[in-house]
A and B are shown apart, each in its own frame.
Chain A
């Protein structure tokens, strides 16, 4: 079982609020990812990181920002939440060795902005 955790699992918040979604893994993985997934749709990569102090934007444009100060921690922040940010956010990490890139996912955070 993968040791990657996301908090909170569910969040309902008002428009304009600042929020931070937490993601932590205890597997020592260098690579971490944030995906956004709407119901019945595929996952879209919004941010990724190769390691500490490395962050890149993904394929889907997002108003969120991320940081990677510690290997095990990859939080995602929305400075001013909007209803269009309502979605499920999934965090993942992958093995440090090249080749298999096995990815492990957290349980996700279901965000609703009202």
Chain B
């Protein structure tokens, strides 16, 4: 069964600190993996997208890594800001259909305290 598991479920850090969010998946055949940021009550916004051949991708203070062999990804946030408080969702796409089906994790709820 294609699944995406994220950890931790929630995380609280102080402003300025770094943190790392984890994503494990069993989706096959794998097409790509993206990390989205979802603010409360809003739609997800894409942070990074990585294909099979990419093992790291940065977007400002966000750095995503991908190990396609172990089917693991991480999202590292450096020098956190209050505006980073949001849900971070790992989404894996398969290439077994023309739709490119998306499989969503439940997200990690990050809270940044001043």
Write the residues of chain A forming the contact surface with B, with a CB cutoff of 8 angstroms. 2, 6, 31, 33, 40-45, 48, 50, 88, 90, 92, 94, 98-108, 110
Stretch at the interface among B13-21, B37-45, B56-64, B66-74: B37-45
Docked-complex contact B99 and A50, CB < 8 angstroms: yes
Q: A100 vs B102: C-alpha distance in the bound complex, in angstroms? A: 11
Measured CB to CB, the residues of B under 8 A from A are 31-32, 34, 36, 41-46, 49, 51, 89, 91, 93, 98-102, 104-107, 109
Q: Which residue of B lies closest to A10 (CB)?
A: B41
Cβ–Cβ < 8 Å partners of B104 in chain A: 42-44
Q: Please name 5 pairs of A and B residues whose Cβ atoms are closer than 8 Å in the assembled complex, sorted by A.
A: A42-B89, A43-B104, A101-B32, A105-B36, A107-B43
Is B49 in contact with A102, judged by CB distance below 8 angstroms?
yes
- The closest CB in chain B to the CB of A45 belongs to B102
Extra 4 A-B pairs, beta carbons < 8 Å, given A42-B107, A43-B104, A100-B49: A41-B106, A43-B44, A45-B101, A105-B45
Q: Which residues of A contact B34 (CB under 8 A)?
A: 102-103
**What A residues does B46 contact at CB under 8 A?**
102-104
The interface residues of chain B lying within 8 Å CB-to-CB of A107 are 42-43
Shortest 4 CB-CB distances between A and B: which pairs? A105-B43, A101-B100, A42-B104, A42-B106
Question: Is the beta-carbon distance between A31 and B99 smaller than 8 angstroms?
Answer: yes
Residue of A40, A43, A90 contacting most chain B CB atoms (<10 Å): A43
Complex contacts, B99 vs chain A, CB 8 Å: 31, 48, 50
| Distance (whole angstroms) from the CB of B28 to the closest CB of chain A | 16
B43 touching A98 by the CB < 8 A rule? no
- Which B residue's beta carbon lies closest to that of A88? B41
**A92–B91 alpha-carbon span in the complex (Å):** 13
Q: What residues of B have a CB within 8 angstroms of the CB of A31 in the complex?
A: 99-100
Partner of A94, one of B51, B100, B107: B100
